[in-house]
Amino acid sequence: MRVADLDEVLVSPARLAVLASLADGRWHAFMALKRATGLADGNLHVQTGKLAAGNYLTKRQEPHGRRTRTSFQITEEGLLRFRLLVRDLQAVLERGEGVIRPRPARDRRDDARTW
């Protein structure tokens, strides 16, 4: 497993936040999901649309007074893909693949000699 091989739909921080918020398997209202993820309305709408198109989540709309209440639930496939991503990320960490290691700190005294 390489970093480049990770699920490209889920490596988006916004979509990852949405799926992580839905991982308990329950239905979550749009506003609750907005609070949980910190995403703006428009961004949450776009990200849930992409996740629904990929069968990561399902969307339900119900009349609620004069408005429509929108809720989301992770699908079985979405939960499986989320778990696989977590497993793959763990493997990347354990192998150190794709990890950028910091350069050793320079001795500041060396800088003084160059000036």
8 compared with 39, residue with greater pLDDT:
39
Show me where the domains of the chain are located. Answer: 3-92
Check residue 24 and give its pLDDT: 97
Q: How confident is the model at residue 42 (pLDDT cuts 50, 70, 90)?
A: very high
**Whether residue 47 has pLDDT greater than 80:** yes
CATH fit for domain 3-92, picks 3.20.20.100, 1.10.3720.10, 1.10.10.10, 3.50.50.60: 1.10.10.10
Predicted confidence (pLDDT) per residue in 19-41, tens digit: 999 999 999 999 999 999 999 99
Among 55, 23, 29, CA closest to 44:
29
**Whether residue 49 has pLDDT greater than 60:** yes
**Whether residue 51 has pLDDT greater than 70:** yes
Predicted confidence (pLDDT) per residue in 71-114, tens digit: 999 999 999 999 998 998 888 888 876 555 666 666 556 555 55
HEC sequence for the chain: CCHHHCCCCCCCHHHHHHHHHHCCCCCEEHHHHHHHHCCCHHHHHHHHHHHHHCCCEEEEEEEECCEEEEEEEECHHHHHHHHHHHHHHHHHHHHCCCCCCCCCCCCHHHHHHHC
In Å, how far are 9, 20, 42, 83, 90 from 39, measured between CA atoms? 17, 13, 8, 22, 26
Check residue 38 and give its pLDDT: 96
56 compared with 4, residue with greater pLDDT:
56
